[in-house]
Amino acid sequence: MSIPLKHLFHINAPADNVFKALTDIEELKTWYTTDVNGRADLGQVLAFMFGTIDFKVKITTSEAGKKLVWECVECSLPMVGHEYIFQLDENEGKTRVRFTELGFTIQDDAYSNMNFSWGKYLESLRQFCQKNVSEAFGSPGYRS
- The share of the chain scoring above pLDDT 70, in percent, equals 99
- Flag whether pLDDT at 144 surpasses 80: no
Contacts of 140 (CB under 8 A, 6+ apart): 134
Rounding to the nearest 10 degrees, give the CA dihedral for residues 9, 72, 120, 137.
-140
User: ∠55-141-29 over CA atoms, to 5°?
Assistant: 40
User: ∠130-136-137 over CA atoms, to 5°?
Assistant: 160
What is the pLDDT, as a whole number, of residue 81?
Answer: 98
The pTM for the full model equals 0.96
